Amino acid sequence: MRTGARQGPEIWIRGPVPAPDPAPAVASNTVRRFSWVGTHGGSGVSTLATVYGGQDCGCDWPGAGDPTSVLLVARTHASGLTAVLHALEVFRRGQAPAGLDLDSVVLVADAPGRLPRPLAQQARLIESVVDVYRVPWVPAWRLGDLGGRPPRETEALARLTGTAH
């Protein structure tokens, strides 16, 4: 038996087991703020910040006064995935600026369609160590049309950033 682990109800208890008291609801009007940090040029940071809100940090770390919760952004091509792995290693080694909190990685499609197998394997590796949100290829964004609703496939990202409708 492990010590210090939470134990469930004992099996010999008969009858209904009362549910624990629910945690009090906390009303909050503040939306969590994020800093979008590109792991390489052309990752899509500016587009994502425009569509989902948050601070566009380009390829720089957040500055004083910027949100400390970081969303790392990379394209799904080979150099983009390599760049995000390097950035994750910076966080793992504790070499990121003090006070920053890596929230997740956002992988932006570099082309329409499925990823080739080697890139899909690399993306799965990233997903094994950190939460990953995927953004599909959006032809309208390529043309500069950032209006309208975000793609349906990004609902979880929209909820995270507080832009879900």
Helices H / strands E in the chain, number of each: 5, 5
Spatial contact of 107 and 77, defined as CB atoms under 8 Å apart: no
Q: Which residue has the tokens 């909190």?
A: 101
DSSP class of residue 152 equals G
Q: Which residues pair with 135 in a beta bridge?
A: 108
Single pTM value for the model: 0.80
What's the Cα-to-Cα distance from 85 to each of 48, 51, 62, 90, rounded to whole Å?
Answer: 20, 25, 19, 9
Run means of pLDDT, 10 residues per run, the chain, 165 residues:
44 47 46 90 96 96 95 98 97 96 97 96 97 96 91 95 80
Neighbouring C-beta atoms of residue 164, cutoff 10 Å: 14
